[in-house]
Structure 1
Amino acid sequence: MQNRWSDQKAQRIFQAKKIPLGIHDTLIGNRHLHYAITGSDSLPALVFIHGSPGSWMNYSRYMWDSLMLKKFRMISIDRPGFGHSDFGKAVHLQEQTALILPVLKSLKNGQPMYLCGHSMGGPVVVDLASKEPGLFKKVIIVAGALDINQEAKETWRHIMNVRPLYWLLPGAFAPSNTELLYLKKDLVQLQLSFDKVKSDILFIHGDEDTWVSIKNIGYGQQKMINAGNIQADTIFGADHMIPWKNQEKFREILLSLH
């Protein structure tokens, strides 16, 4: 229920596939940020930012994929509060980007960097791109939640965030509940970031997504007025879980980035 692998398990799985895996843990202020890397450091970087809940290992199937490895150095991050990045200690969206950005800047290698965020990772990648406009060649927003007006009220989250009810939420669902409560206010603050995004943008969304409305695409297109080329790819018949239920199509889109 913690939605994570131990570092030892991850190393065993990748070693069995004969894929070198780098696992890193860095301290930024008083917070740990944990992430994994595969692929040659001379290649363009593809950064995965998971949703809520989640961890870096959600993208492991792409990180050991032979075709993906020919094109990208892949970096997958445990967002703060998840995986091994101080598990259980959720923080606001803007605090997350402040912790993630120094790591991504340290990984620059003179090649393009692509930034891919799913669901809750969507607003995270938008905020990252607004903070460092020249760092990312393209931002890929997969079923991303950007529009506060499209968010469900979910009053039950407030009830479950109160102790002792909070402790009834299993594993990673506890910090997930907290950060999704934060998101209601964080999306309001994100309004100040949209016009600072200058990267190219690619929206990927399923037309049968009942968790995050596909209307978020139109909202993002309207708000990111200084972005480069903005494209949208609708996957018909897909729901919210595109990276796992529509793996072949998603991989095809990623391979076409570079």
Structure 2
Amino acid sequence: MKLLKKIFKILAAVITVIFLVLYFLFWNFTAPKSDKEVLNKFKNSSVIPILSYQNFNGFTYRKLSIEKDSTLPTLVFVHGTIGSSTDFIEYMKDSLLLSKVNMISYDRIGYNYNDKNSVQESIAFERDMLQDIIKNIRSSKIIVVGYSYGGPIALALQQKVDKVILLAPAVYSKVEPMPWALNLYKWKLTRWLIPPIWRKASKEKLSHKQDLQQFENNWKSTPNAIVSIHGTSDWIVPYENSKFLQQQFPKNQFELISIKDAGHGFIWSKFDTLKQHLIQQLD
């Protein structure tokens, strides 16, 4: 019996250590990166973006800009939840894309490094911030690319741009999954366990469904041509979101591109496929 108790104590200690190590790695991996860490990711790139801090409605946000030639189109990337400007680094480093486009990526409010501001929980606010960013772009052609929760922000634009490309957009409240893990944020006794950036993401997630209801029946009011690219096996933002959009728009305004068996992380796992689709949309 004593030996059995000793074994259980050792196993409990080992499991605790493993949990703490994994928790620390998860916390560190998902935390927003410092300016130095961000720029280090471009050290082998042929072009280093300009990292700057901009202001909108009293909020400061970080922006990565590669604007080489005003005659080239500009891709403006809008990240999701959880996410940051660094979600699109592989695209901003790609030599073929760099030869064809300028690129801008930015941190939404609440997702910057050491950002003390809360997430805004408002598609309207995010849309207005995006429009403020767009108005200073010198390119003659602007293409907005919204991923996941960045999708409804891009889709809500009432400003005319050349095209809006949605990547697995979360635009339909009726199919919005609410994972059980959100309870860890909702319960005050367990909220402290959640890393700070995930608390912000959870807060935005919980309000997103209701916020969508103010927009989702009127998405077709956008003046822009829409392309939605979605993985058929996406369970985080289900494929039904893009099918819902397809039903709202006339065929000459909307195109649905399905990526068979792809999940929500396809902007990384299907990088080459998505890069080619982006290039095709430049014409």
Scaled by the length of structure 2, what TM-score is found? 0.82
Give the 3-state SS of the residue equivalent to 2:213 in structure 1: helix
1:210 aligned residue (235, 245, 255)? 235
Larger Rg: 2
1:4–1:228 Cα change, 3 Å: farther
1:215-246 Cα shifts (integer Å, max 9, x gaps): 11121123345x95211111112111111010
Residues 200 and 228 (structure 1 numbering): CA distance in 2 closer, same or farther, change over 3 Å? farther
Contact 1:33–1:84, Cα closer than 8 Å, also in 2: no
- Quickly say closer, same or farther: Cα 1:192–1:30, change in 2 above 3 A: farther
Aligned residue number for residue 91 of structure 1? 120
The total of aligned residue pairs comes to 252
Partners in 2 of 1:21 and 1:115 — Cα distance? 18
Following superposition, the deviation at residue 155 of structure 1 comes to 6.3
Compute the displacement of 1:162 (Å).
5.2
The amino acid of 2:176's aligned partner reads E
- The residue number in structure 1 matching 2:7 is none
TM-aligned CA deviation for residue 153 of structure 1: 4.0
**Alignment map for 1:136-175 (pairs within 5 Å):** 136-154=161-179, 157=182, 160-161=185-186, 163=188, 165-175=190-200
How much does 1:40 deviate? 1.3
Does residue 56 (structure 1) correspond to residue 81 (structure 2)? The answer is no
What is the root-mean-square deviation in Å for CA atoms of aligned residues?
A: 2.2
Match of 2:202 among 170, 177, 202: 177
Q: Deviations over 1:100-129 (max 9, x none)?
A: 32112112x2411111111111111111x2
Distance 1:72 1:122 in 2: 21
1:26 aligns with 2:54: yes
Question: In structure 1, what residue type is equivalent to 2:273?
Answer: K
Give the AA of the match of 1:165. Answer: T
Distance 2:55 2:65 in 1: 17
User: Structure 1 residues 166 and 88 mapped into 2: Cα distance closer, same or farther (>3 Å)?
Assistant: farther
Structure 1 stretch 72-81 or stretch 90-99: which is displaced more? 90-99
- Residues 41 and 158 (structure 1), Cα distance of their counterparts in 2 relative to 1, 3 Å cut: farther
Distance 1:159 1:18, change over 3 A: closer
Summarize the Cα distance change of 1:206–1:170 in structure 2 as closer, same or farther, 3 Å threshold: same
**Structure 2 CA distance, aligned partners of 1:70 and 1:87?**
37
Unaligned runs of 5+ in 2: 1-26
**What is the identity, as a one-letter code, of the residue corresponding to 1:200?**
A
Bigger RCO (CA 8 Å, 6+ sep):
1
After TM superposition, the score normalised by the length of structure 1 is 0.89
Long gaps (5+) in structure 1: none
Once residues 228 and 102 of structure 1 are traced to their aligned partners in structure 2, the CA distance between those partners, rounded to angstroms, is: 28
Partner of 1:112: 141
Contact 1:209 1:238 in 2 (8 A): yes
